[in-house]
Structure 1
Amino acid sequence: MIERIWSGKSPLYLLLLPLAWLYGLVSGAIRLSYKLGLRKAWHSPVPVVVVGNLTAGGNGKTPVVIWLVEQLQARGIRAGVVSRGYGGKAENYPLLLTPQSTTDQAGDEPVLIYQRTGAPVAVAPDRSAAVKALIEHAQPQIIITDDGLQHYALARDKEIVVVDGVRRFGNGWWLPAGPMRERAGRLQSVDAVIVNGGEAKAGEIAMCLQPGEAVNLNTDERRAVQTLQNVVAMAGIGHPPRFFATLKQCGLEPVRTVGLADHQALNEADVSKLVQSGQTLLMTEKDAVKCRAFAAGHDNWWYLPVDAHLSEPQAAQLLNSVSALIK
């Protein structure tokens, strides 16, 4: 239902407009207070790059963070990552991730980024505190923030916005009448706009998510995804249909698809119920970081990693501009 409302296919958004106006008024006032100097943003001694979005829901932001970190690492640059850690609840903040950190503590996206990149990752509701912890303990040359475009308490040196190229901005209204955290005009003030899927407009960087081989949660065996049999596909991401569409593009037609809420907590009993004898469970990598803790004995559980691929030469230009922030 919410997708229909946000896409403009349902007139029910009209009932939510008063709340949307209130949301827009409050969020606009907060941003203006920082622009006028009424509130002070904290400036990190290390360059900060925000990778965020204007809309609620999955846009492909985390794969972009992973891509950016890995590209900087390939250039010999030490990048650290900070996140709000949505879905996690640590005993103390800021939390510096270790190989023992769980998604219950840190949230699924920070754990995924840490496992994929090996970069230092810090989580805290106050992103400035997370940045300070990284600087003290990891000495990064640059900080990438996963989300946080609207977290104006942390000053930033560069802003990158990721846009879902298929859904774009829906009906264009603020939450909850529409998907917008800020209006589309905000794009005029950011440094780069990356468009995931669909068609990129002039000045935007085209991106696609390319799947790799399916990976077994227990054995780490890798296999071409289309060779899996009797697949039940599970996706607990911001926009599950994107994952299911990716599977079809790979030549795989699941016998059933299960869309879950973004950041939804998972347990062995509930996940086990999704498949019957002889069926294979295939999930996103984001789900896999939550399921790995209780995957023992479930040799029919697999996940599909995806990598962000950005168009050239815009990708190189973006990397050059980010690298130039380091003195």
Structure 2
Amino acid sequence: MRLIEKVWFQGHPAKWLMVPLLLPLSLVFALVSFFRRLAYQLGLLEQINMSVPVVVVGNIGIGGNGKTPVTLYLVEKLLAQGINVGVVSRGYGSKAPHYPYQVNATSNAEQAGDEPLLIFQRCGVPVVIGADRITACQRLIEQGCELIIADDGLQHYRLARDFEFVVVDGKRLFGNGFLLPAGPLRETKRRIKQADCVIVNGESVWQKQALNLNFPVLTMGLKATKVIHVKSGESVELSNFLAKNVANDKSINAFAGIGDPKRFFNTLEALGFTLTLAKGFIDHQAFSAQDLQQFPNDIPLLMTEKDAVKCTDFAQDNYWYLPVDAAFSENTVTESIAAVINSIAALVSKHN
């Protein structure tokens, strides 16, 4: 984890030096963000409405809060209702030959970005990336998409939206509470009140404080049932993999290049794995074979699905990844996820 992230989320002693130095920049950031949003609200900047419903999945801070599992869940449930879904994303870190760029079967993570490629490979729905979300959405509409999910598009106000999800990390929450760069927030916590639904990734005391919001506040967990061999695509039930590879205290190695690598390592330990070597990398790390040479090849090396899409070209026989799915706790919510899905599906008929 970078030093600045330790300052944001862990209260590292460097905060006493770095935060005061960065606060003037945070003030500038706050003013620019405020007046930019105000310009859209007043019509000084044009907000574009698409001809199909647009659902935004985003957060008010940086880092991995669980947006991609939420996007995958929404796509799966909406497809089950017979709705043609498409996904737009900026494609952070991508180097596509052109933009907008539609992810396809020959795309790699360098071209498409790790998360868009993951979504395409997992769901098979049209995924288009590009900074110009309007043009990307239009590409999807031309292909018959009836509803568009904008992955990480909360602050892209040029794109009008019909429904907003804000995903909150139940553990890290909002860090030190400051805006960038003194803190991890893109917008203040007040922005949450303007969403249509909040999803808290993991149990959190904050959720009890948020229950006075006038919209659904849902609790999400991440469920794992299998591991997949990176090189061959072989799928093995988690219980069988554990029985084979963890018997007699045989341990594994693991790495993660996500917003909070520690969350992944904690998940592995909770599932019954013993970690010999666990290495965290920066979010969206572009991996090479050299980056992983530190891990011996005589025991399994586990990674996230997001990291696996960047390691297929040089995968070794001991490379495995752990796919996770969003799972919602229905007993602690103000409204069920099923009701939220149905309200989103109803948007399609309203647009027709």
TM-score, reference length from structure 1: 0.95
After superposition, the C-alpha distances for 1:284-322 in whole angstroms (9 at most, x for unaligned) are: 000001111222xx1100000000012335201110111
Letter matched to residue 61 of structure 2: T
Moved more, 35-44 or 194-203: 194-203
Deviation, structure 1 residue 277: 4.0
Question: Could you tell me which residue of structure 2 aligns to residue 5 of structure 1?
Answer: 7
Alignment partner of 2:110 out of 104, 108, 124? 104
Deviation, structure 1 residue 223: 4.1
Aligned to 2:338, what secondary structure does the other structure show? helix
How far apart, CA to CA, are the structure 1 residues paired with 2:70 and 2:30? 27
Alignment partner of 2:314 out of 294, 297, 306? 294
Alignment partner of 1:20 out of 23, 26, 35? 26
Aligned to 2:310, what secondary structure does the other structure show? helix
Moved over 6 A (4+): none
Question: Could you tell me which residue of structure 2 aligns to residue 261 of structure 1?
Answer: 282
Question: Could you tell me which residue of structure 1 aligns to residue 181 of structure 2?
Answer: 176
Letter matched to residue 198 of structure 1: E
Question: Could you tell me which residue of structure 2 aligns to residue 308 of structure 1?
Answer: 326
- On the 8 A contact 1:96/1:134 being kept in 2, the answer is no
Aligned to 1:269, what secondary structure does the other structure show? helix
RMSD over aligned Cα atoms: 1.3
Aligned to 1:242, what secondary structure does the other structure show? helix
- On the 8 A contact 2:287/2:311 being kept in 1, the answer is yes
How far apart, CA to CA, are the structure 1 residues paired with 2:71 and 2:336? 16
How far apart, CA to CA, are the structure 1 residues paired with 2:254 and 2:126? 31
- On the 8 A contact 2:297/2:318 being kept in 1, the answer is no
Alignment partner of 1:281 out of 289, 294, 301? 301
Question: Could you tell me which residue of structure 2 aligns to residue 249 of structure 1?
Answer: 270
Question: Could you tell me which residue of structure 1 aligns to residue 152 of structure 2?
Answer: 147
2:190 maps to 1:185: yes
Tell me how many residue pairs correspond in the alignment: 323
- On the 8 A contact 2:53/2:161 being kept in 1, the answer is yes
Aligned to 2:327, what secondary structure does the other structure show? strand
2:41 maps to 1:35: yes
Aligned to 2:303, what secondary structure does the other structure show? strand
2:132 maps to 1:126: yes
Identity across the alignment (%): 50
How far apart, CA to CA, are the structure 2 residues paired with 1:277 and 1:171? 39
2:215 maps to 1:210: no
After superposition, the C-alpha distances for 1:241-285 in whole angstroms (9 at most, x for unaligned) are: 1101100110112101110111111112322x0321412211000
How far apart, CA to CA, are the structure 1 residues paired with 2:53 and 2:297? 52
How far apart, CA to CA, are the structure 2 residues paired with 1:46 and 1:315? 22
Aligned to 1:218, what secondary structure does the other structure show? coil
Deviation, structure 1 residue 8: 6.5
Letter matched to residue 242 of structure 2: Q
Moved more, 218-227 or 172-181: 218-227
Aligned to 2:34, what secondary structure does the other structure show? helix
How far apart, CA to CA, are the structure 1 residues paired with 2:108 and 2:90? 15
How far apart, CA to CA, are the structure 2 residues paired with 1:156 and 1:22? 27
Letter matched to residue 212 of structure 1: T
Question: Could you tell me which residue of structure 2 aligns to residue 324 of structure 1?
Answer: 346
Question: Could you tell me which residue of structure 1 aligns to residue 72 of structure 2?
Answer: 66
Deviation, structure 1 residue 230: 3.3
2:162 maps to 1:157: yes
How far apart, CA to CA, are the structure 2 residues paired with 1:75 and 1:311? 22
The 1:56/1:102 distance shift into structure 2, 3 A limit, reads same
How far apart, CA to CA, are the structure 2 residues paired with 1:93 and 1:3? 31
- On the 8 A contact 2:101/2:129 being kept in 1, the answer is yes
Letter matched to residue 7 of structure 1: F
Q: Which stretches in structure 2 are left out of the alignment for 5+ residues?
A: none
Aligned to 1:270, what secondary structure does the other structure show? helix
Letter matched to residue 299 of structure 2: Q
How far apart, CA to CA, are the structure 2 residues paired with 1:194 and 1:78? 24
TM-score, reference length from structure 2: 0.89
Deviation, structure 1 residue 219: 2.6
After superposition, the C-alpha distances for 1:183-220 in whole angstroms (9 at most, x for unaligned) are: 00001111000000122331510000111211111232
2:261 maps to 1:240: yes
Aligned to 2:192, what secondary structure does the other structure show? helix
After superposition, the C-alpha distances for 1:109-139 in whole angstroms (9 at most, x for unaligned) are: 0000001111110011111111011111x21
Aligned to 1:56, what secondary structure does the other structure show? coil
The 1:77/1:277 distance shift into structure 2, 3 A limit, reads closer
More helix by proportion, 1 or 2?
Answer: 2
Q: Which stretches in structure 1 are left out of the alignment for 5+ residues?
A: none
Deviation, structure 1 residue 323: 0.6
